Amino acid sequence: QSVLTQPPSVSGAPGQRVTISCTGSSSNIGAGYDVHWYQQLPGTAPKLLIYGNNNRPSGVPDRISGSKSGTSASLAITGLQAEDEADYYCQSYDSSLSGSDVVFGGGTKLTVL
Amino acid sequence: QVQLQESGPGLVKPSETLSLTCTVSGYSSDYYWGWIRQPPGKGLEWIGNLYHSGTYYNPSLKSRVTISVDVSQNQFFLEVRSVTAADTAVYYCANWNMGAYNFDFWGPGTLVTVSS
């Protein structure tokens, strides 16, 4: 069971807007740690999509955005395209008794209908 | 841009030690490193990070894992001891952004199967 909770799957038709949620707690997202998002296309390594809650690395289109509020974060993709079909993971930091650990969400499979 | 490449045996016997190497190019001495794994059909699991100040591990793996570095060879390493079938996964190395607390660039990954 992942520390960060994501829906297992979301779907949308081409051109539509979809959002993927990432729910944490007071020891991670709620503690002020940033949330980052990765896109994993089938058979490939994850790629950084959003860092620091809402920043896009060079080359990521502006139809992809991120936000964070309280103990949750969201990834939004507008103008959905077939190439967006992939798995998406959120990542943050968690303060536990053992120290500060990197934590991932369980991943969300985005299907473009 | 940083480039990373994992290498090592694709098959390890149960109870033995899994050893992987990550070779890095295009980096500076200010970079930090990490290992992540992904069991077949499952999500990402953080294994540990290597900083200038030391190494930090996932508490669930800490007793069996060691991450080390050879700066002269531009390589860092992962050892997982006493492996079982549950350690079968694609193993990724990545560079850790100490300012933003995220992984910037990832290697392509290498599949390690634990089986007799």
CB contact under 8 A, A106 and B46: no
More confident residue, B26 or B35: B35
- Is residue B29's pLDDT more than 70? no
**Closest Cα in chain A to B91:** A45
The residues, ordered by sequence, that sit 6+ positions from A21 with a Cβ below 8 Å of its Cβ are A5, A6, A7, A72, A73, A74
Nearest to A48 among B46, B59, B103 (CB): B103
In chain B, residues with a C-beta closer than 8 Å to the C-beta of A94 are none
pLDDT of B43 reads 97
pLDDT means per 10 residues in chain A (113 residues)? 94 97 96 97 97 96 97 98 97 84 97 96
CA dist., res. B31 & res. B74, Å (int): 11
3-state secondary structure of B62: helix
B84-108 per-position pLDDT tens digit = 999 999 999 999 998 889 999 999 9
Q: Are A59 and A67 in contact (CB under 8 A)?
A: no
Q: What is the mean pLDDT of chain B?
A: 94
- pLDDT of B27 higher than 80: no
pLDDT digits (tens, 9 = 90+) for B61-79: 999 999 999 988 889 999 9
Nearest to B49 among A51, A92, A102 (CB): A102
- Which DSSP string corresponds to chain A? --SBB--SEEEE-TT--EEEEEE--TTTGGGT---EEEEE-TTS--EEEEBTTTBPPTT--TTEEEEEETTEEEEEE-S--GGG-EEEEEEEEEEETTEEEEEEB--EEEEE-
Distance from B70 to chain A by nearest Cα, in Å? 23
pLDDT recorded at residue B53: 82
Percent with pLDDT over 90 in chain A? 93
pLDDT classification of B115: cutoffs 50, 70, 90: very high
**Rg from Cα positions in chain B:** 13
The shortest CB-CB distance from B44 to any of A33, A44, A104 is to A104
- Contact, A56 vs A47, CB < 8 A? no
Asked if B107 has any chain A CB less than 8 Å from its own CB, the reply is yes
Contacts of B36 in chain A (CB under 8 A): 104
Mean pLDDT on B53-61: 91
Residue B6: list chain A partners with CB under 8 A. none
The one-letter amino acid code at A47 reads: K
| Residue that is written with structure tokens 């080390």 in the block | B68
Q: Mind telling me how many Å the CA of A80 is from chain B's nearest CA?
A: 23
Contact state of B97 with A51 under an 8 Å Cβ cutoff: yes
* pLDDT for res A21: 98
Q: Nearest-CA neighbor of B103 among B38, B39, B40?
A: B38
A53 within 8 A of A103, measured Cβ to Cβ: no
